Amino acid sequence: MASVAVIAVDGPSGSGKGTLAVALARRLGFRFLDSGALYRIVAHAAITGGFDLADGDALAGLARRLTVHFELTQDGVTVRLDGTAVGDAIRAEPVSVAASRVAAHRAVRDALLELQRSMRRPPGLVADGRDMGTVVFPDAVLKIFLEASPEERAQRRYNQLKDKDLGVSLRGLLESIRERDERDRTRAVSPLVPAADAIVIDSTLLPIDAVFAVVWQRVIDAGLARA
């Protein structure tokens, strides 16, 4: 299935990559993969099941048992685990922190590789994550790497979470983002770095529709859509 087009959208959380990836998938009628949700689901299952977050092999066992589907809906994305929508539980801060630890294990990353690649099906896939362009889909036809300053990303996340009563503070989010960035960028396996052939865009001062416009032109240039 190597000829099915993949668009890789990588970057740190809060860079706008999720919004961009969903918008691209919708506009193109492509399938959508939120790879971060997979790490979050493993982390959530690990917390619920009392697993040791340092035990990569046990966590990989959890990861191998996942049956996950992503569905684009009118208001966003529904993530289904064994057919049941997982909802906001995987977005809570403790799960974000645990997901970053879970994602640092090579065994877990290897266990999720096949599941991620199995989502590459016609008519195409938009894959959102950290290593979509470097490791999971190195032959992606288009690779976007979105950046934004930690302060801006903390503010965006705060705006997303504040109404959901998940008990977050802006300062706490900024600290947590800095800590996770450090772990995601410096880990030995699949660190958060742009692929050599990625288009790097800084969204700190760019509204999402401006980012979309820049990327859409690249989609056209790549022959995936008409002007």
Check residue 184 for interaction with ligand DC (CB under 6 A).
yes
Supply the minimum distance, in Å, between the C-beta of residue 27 and ligand DC.
Answer: 21
Contact call for residues 145 and 24 (beta carbons, < 8 A): no
100 binds ligand DC (CB under 6 A): yes
**Residues in contact with ligand DC, total (CB under 6 A)?**
13
Distance of CA 136 to the CA centre of its chain: 12
Of positions 39, 70, 145, 212, contacts ligand DC by CB under 6 A: 39
Among the residue ranges 57-65, 78-86, 124-132, 209-217, the one whose residues contact ligand DC (CB under 6 A): 124-132
Please count the other Cβ atoms lying within 10 Å of the Cβ belonging to residue 226: 6
**Which is closer to ligand DC, CB of 159 or CB of 217?**
159
Q: Is 48 helix (H, G, I), strand (E, B) or coil?
A: helix
19 counts as binding ligand DC under rule CB under 6 A: no
By the rule CB under 6 A, 129 interacts with ligand DC: yes
Question: How do strand 125-129 and strand 6-10 relate by DSSP bridges?
Answer: parallel
Residue 134 within binding range of ligand DC, rule CB under 6 A: no
Which strands, in side-by-side order, build the sheet including 77-81? 68-72, 77-81, 84-85
Closest separation between CB of residue 214 and ligand DC, Å?
21
Query: Can you list the positions of beta strands (E) in the chain?
Result: 6-10, 31-34, 68-72, 77-81, 84-85, 125-129, 142-147, 199-202
Quick check: 13 binds ligand DC (CB under 6 A)? yes
Residue 85 vs 225, nearer CB to ligand DC: 85
Q: Which of 53, 59, 92, 99 binds ligand DC (CB under 6 A)?
A: 99
Tell me the window of 20-28, 47-55, 123-131, 171-179 that interacts with ligand DC (CB under 6 A). 123-131
User: Could you tell me whether strands 68-72 and 6-10 are parallel, antiparallel, or unpaired per DSSP bridges?
Assistant: unpaired
Question: Looking at 31, 40, 44, 143, which residue binds ligand DC (CB under 6 A)?
Answer: 40
Q: Does 153 bind ligand DC (CB under 6 A)?
A: no
180 binds ligand DC (CB under 6 A): yes
Return the residue of 15, 19, 35, 176 that touches ligand DC, per CB under 6 A.
35
Cα 178 from Cα 167, distance rounded (Å) = 19
> Rounded CA gap, 92 and 211, in Å?
27
Is 56 strand, coil or helix? helix
Q: Are 59 and 105 in contact (CB under 8 A)?
A: yes
Binding site for ligand DC (CB under 6 A): 13, 35-36, 39-40, 99-100, 103, 129-131, 180, 184
